[in-house]
Structure 1
Amino acid sequence: MRVVLQRSKQASVTVDGKVTGQIESGLVLLVGVTHEDTEQDADWLAEKIVHLRIFEDESGKMNESLLDRGGSILSVSQFTLYGDCKKGRRPNFMKAAGGEQAENLYDALNERLRARGIHVETGVFGAMMDVALVNDGPVTLILDTKD
């Protein structure tokens, strides 16, 4: 699984003109799934995400986690994270998992985050979404269970 994680002051996702998920401070996750991914990948990511010390403490050092801060997560499925652009001019998405597998693991990740006490909002799996984000910092990291 691959996640682009962004520290956020506020974020929302809209589908067909309707807001389906919205947070104030916390993290925005763009989540991609590939064929070899399993529920163990979702477990590892959830644990990493909630404990990642990327929020500033009182001295301005990135030393606090989402659990320390009590922030929320906006999680958005993003199959294009597995787009291969090495050849030609059009991305190849063969590395992205199929719909059912990807949706199951995306849902598993979100449930594991919730089980750790995090409020999680989402987009709509497989839908065309408009994602709005005020990136805090900016802080943007890439997590990949295969690296």
Structure 2
Amino acid sequence: MRYVRDLYSPVFFVEYLVAIMVLCISLYLTLTISEYDYEFGIICLMWAHKLPQLFLYSWFGTKLSDVAHSVRNAAYACEWHNTSKSISICILIVMIRCDQRFAFIAGDYASVTVNSFAVIMKEAVSYMAVMHTLMSSDEDQMANVTLRK
């Protein structure tokens, strides 16, 4: 599992970072678009590409974690206390191992789960709101400068 985590952790991190930027910029462009033409279609295609991709990563990450917990529960539910000592120890080792965190990690920053998908969506909307506020305040300042002249 360590090899898989070390291999995919940077990939998930870059994917999440790029997705936040793409979603933020496309949200902002959607708000500022004056006519719904081919640009709007391109923005919709970006959304149609990024959202399912991120959601599937997150969904499978959540399922992976759930399966690890179900293995622990299944090991506990078997009649391990009525078996030989060596089998009981093996089953206890499986249960202890399944108690450890078992999930894909995005760059040692966050686990790849459905909850992290929701956080990404919230961050993209927040960044878009900040971008919109900054751009509108810049336009207001430019309008005030031109009115003074």
Q: TM-score, normalised by structure 1?
A: 0.23
Larger proportion of strand: 1
* Structure having the larger proportion of residues in helix: 2
Give the TM-score normalised by the residue count of structure 2: 0.23
Structure index of larger Rg: 2
